[in-house]
Amino acid sequence: MSGKPRLTYLNGRGRMEPVRWLLAAAGVEFEEIFLETREQYEKLIKDGVLMFQQVPLVEIDGMKMVQTRAILSYIAGKHNLYGKDLKERALIDMYVEGITDLMQMILVFPFSPPEAKEKNIDSIKERATNRYFPVFEKVLKQHGQDFLVGNKFSWADVQLIEAILAVEEKIPAVLSGFPQLQAFKKRMSNMPTIKKFLQPGSPRKPPPDECYVETVLKVFKK
């Protein structure tokens, strides 16, 4: 093994995409193993690799880590993206949890039946524009700084730019009433490590398609 973190998941976004984003933002190269069959997944369970019989799985620093939140907080702490003290960490945690709630709607969207997709898009738009994005617009406006917490790039900023771009894929004009977030998006997208991750050929995964949905169902559904 090369010493790079090794990520085991499907060849798609899902619950691993925030991990890819955070590692990339930290400038960390990583390797990936893609699950394509039920047998591969069952072998991981049989071998005792998955603590709770779930992926994502990230092998890093001699550990086999599961549970997305634990993986992300470890990476953020390791790469100085988790605030300078407990108060900043608490703020980052609150922002991340809020963004995660919004991203959960994006995560399950591809699996909704065709007749529900339009309604679900409306729900995502309503939540983004009325509940979540106003919080970050207000934070950025009040402190007048480039980043969400402590005027320093953090895990929260990475989660927010990921969420903004994911929502924009479904609702292109979603930031029309949020000038602070428009400026934030431009700043974040031009940061060297993030700019690199947004280029074609990077480990960033495309929006889920029917093939991805079929693979998820094949691997995880008995």
Q: pLDDT tens digits for 8-61?
A: 999 999 999 999 999 999 999 999 999 999 999 999 999 999 999 999 999 999
Return the closest-CA partner of residue 165 out of 188, 144, 145.
Answer: 188
Q: Where are the beta strands (DSSP E) in 22-135?
A: 31-34, 57-60, 63-66
Which band of pLDDT confidence, cut at 50, 70 and 90, is reported for residue 221? confident
* Domains located in the chain, CATH noted: 6-79+198-220 (3.40.30.10), 86-190 (1.20.1050.10)
Confidence check: pLDDT of 2 > 60 = no
pLDDT tens, residue by residue, 113-150 = 889 989 999 999 999 999 999 999 999 999 999 999 99
So what's the pLDDT on residue 1? 43
Task: Say which amino acid occupies 88.
Answer: E
Torsion of CA 49, 53, 57, 62, to 10 degrees: -30
Return the closest-CA partner of residue 163 out of 207, 100, 117.
Answer: 100
So what's the pLDDT on residue 68? 96
For 8, phi then psi, to 5°, come to -115, 120
